[in-house]
Amino acid sequence: MERNERIYQIFSEINKVPRPSWHEERIADWLCAFAKEQGMECKRDKQNCIVMKKAATPGHEDAQPIVLHAHMDMVCVAEKGKQFDPLNDAIEAYVDNGWMKARGTSLGADNGMGLSMALAAMEDDTLVHGPLELLVTTNEEDGMTGAAALSTDFIKARKMIDLDSEDYDTITVGAAGAYLQTATLPFNRKPTAEGMEFFKIEISGGRGGHSGVDIGKGRMSAVKEICLLIDRIREICPEMVVSEITAGEANASIASQAEALVGVEKGNAAKLSNLISLYIISPEGDPDVHVTCMAAEQPSTTICPEAVEDLTESIREIPFGVINMSQHMEGTVETSNNIGVIRTETDHFFVTTHSRSFIHKDMVELGKGIATVLTNHGATTKLVMDTPAWEENAESDYVHLVEQTFEDVLGFRPRKVEMHFVMEMGYFVDKFPGIEIVPIGPRIIEPHSTSERVELETIDNIWHVLKELLRRLS
């Protein structure tokens, strides 16, 4: 398929603009400037969501309006030791054997590549289309607050081509709901006792990944493992103290790394070193995980042991991974939970959990059960997101049109799948009654991780499907 270099140029430009979730102001400014340069009408709401509008190709003014959709934020994670400030630094992308990757960070192909394709379509005057809108939402990756706050008159179209799919040879016709919550567990600090020796314990080498797509692949949760390891150290060194625990990279990612600053009596340092040298974490889906222990400077204070125990006990009680597999979608996770991060703040631990399910009742029960565990250990919880699952009519004329377009352009009929990741569609069908949505996109592997990559050939192919689909809908 002929390559549209403009898609890649736009993606390069987008990757120069920092766009982590909750911090989309600059990329929203960039998008508004893009629309102005193209002479398109542009509207921006208080959440920085944007809609651009382009007139129909002459002769196609009476066609039904179509809205393209992408989200502007990305999950920003970096390799251990990588100097990367997600609020200020650009993404360094490169091409390797037909795949685009990033140097030491997540790539942002989710959903930057879909956004680039949509923008390329909006500016291309050679395409044939009816009245065309582009909806770009904010904070999709960490609460979907942009989609949740959209006004009911923000878009006009009632047929949407969503470009936030990561599965090239499929049409997504359903997505799980999500229940995201945070917890704060307070603690007191006290001066570090004399006669203690401190060590930095690190767990690294995990593959991490998307906490929906990759949750059933048997990968380690570094959040879980660091807490289990602290409990094990406490068993052999009851006097152990902790000054800091940090685990995980993002709420929507499986935690791939963790570290803790712990202290033991000098006479027990050899016990600790021996434990770490023999400690093995070997999940089936994470063969490269390893644990290290290095001497560290003594901190001035440590966290009260009771709070550390409350944290590790609650994490031990909270489930991680697959809760149930679907009985009617073979091989599909139905309900799951991820523990995203632990952060040590000035006077409290901060923890996030992200539950998903196709069955809303099960998801809410799971989320409330997790909240109960945390509150029983002294934490205060806050619900950030309760997003409904979404299901499209897989046999609608619109879905069949997209299927036929794939077959005519690429020579294959895409599979129709329901995916165990959350999408904004549940909000769209509520706010825009009668809307029909079909998500498509290029092949993206390991989103939300430093291994994220997108296959160039599939970008080119989806572009040609998009062009032809717009023509057929006009």
Percent of the chain at pLDDT exceeding 90? 92
Residues 233-251 as b/e (b if ≥16 CB within 10 A, e otherwise) read: bbeebeebbbbebbbbbbb
Residue 297 is predicted with a pLDDT of 96
At 238-261, the pLDDT tens digits run: 999 999 999 999 888 999 999 999
- How confident is the prediction for the chain on average, in pLDDT? 96
The structure tokens 């069949």 sit at 400
Looking at the predicted structure, is the pLDDT value of residue 350 above 90? Answer: yes
Strand partners, 202: 259, 292
> What is the spatial distance between Cα 340 and Cα 222, in angstroms, rounded to a whole number?
9
Give the mean pLDDT of 183-200.
96
Give the mean pLDDT of 151-180.
95
**pTM: predicted TM-score of the whole model, two decimal places:** 0.82
Give the mean pLDDT of 29-43.
98
At 284-318, the pLDDT tens digits run: 888 899 999 999 999 999 999 999 999 999 999 99
Give the mean pLDDT of 167-186.
95
Looking at the predicted structure, is the pLDDT value of residue 372 above 90? Answer: yes
CB 66 within 8 A of CB 129: yes
Residue 453 is predicted with a pLDDT of 97
CB 134 within 8 A of CB 24: no
> What is the spatial distance between Cα 74 and Cα 14, in angstroms, rounded to a whole number?
11
Which among 111, 34, 132, 106 is positioned nearest to 462, based on CA atoms?
111
Dihedral sign, CA of 211, 214, 215, 218? Answer: negative
Give the mean pLDDT of 332-342.
96
CATH topology of domain 5-164+424-473: Aminopeptidase (3.40.630)
Residue 325 is predicted with a pLDDT of 94
| Residue spans of alpha helices (H) in 169-301 | 222-236, 269-278
Query: Which one-letter amino acid corresponds to residue 420?
Result: H
Bridging pattern class, strands 290-296 and 170-186: unpaired
Q: For the chain, what is the radius of gyration of the CA atoms?
A: 24
Please state the domain extents for the chain.
5-164+424-473, 180-387
Give the mean pLDDT of 120-138.
98
449 CB-near residues (< 8 Å, 6+ apart): 77, 106, 207, 208, 209, 210, 253, 254, 256
| Residue spans of alpha helices (H) in 237-359 | 269-278, 305-317
Residue 327 is predicted with a pLDDT of 86
Looking at the predicted structure, is the pLDDT value of residue 331 above 90? Answer: no
Looking at the predicted structure, is the pLDDT value of residue 460 above 90? Answer: yes
At 421-434, the pLDDT tens digits run: 889 999 999 999 99
Choosing among 3.60.20.10, 1.10.3720.10, 1.20.120.160, 3.30.70.360, the CATH entry for 180-387 is 3.30.70.360
Looking at the predicted structure, is the pLDDT value of residue 56 above 90? Answer: yes
Give the mean pLDDT of 79-95.
95
Local structure of residue 210 (DSSP, 8 states)? B
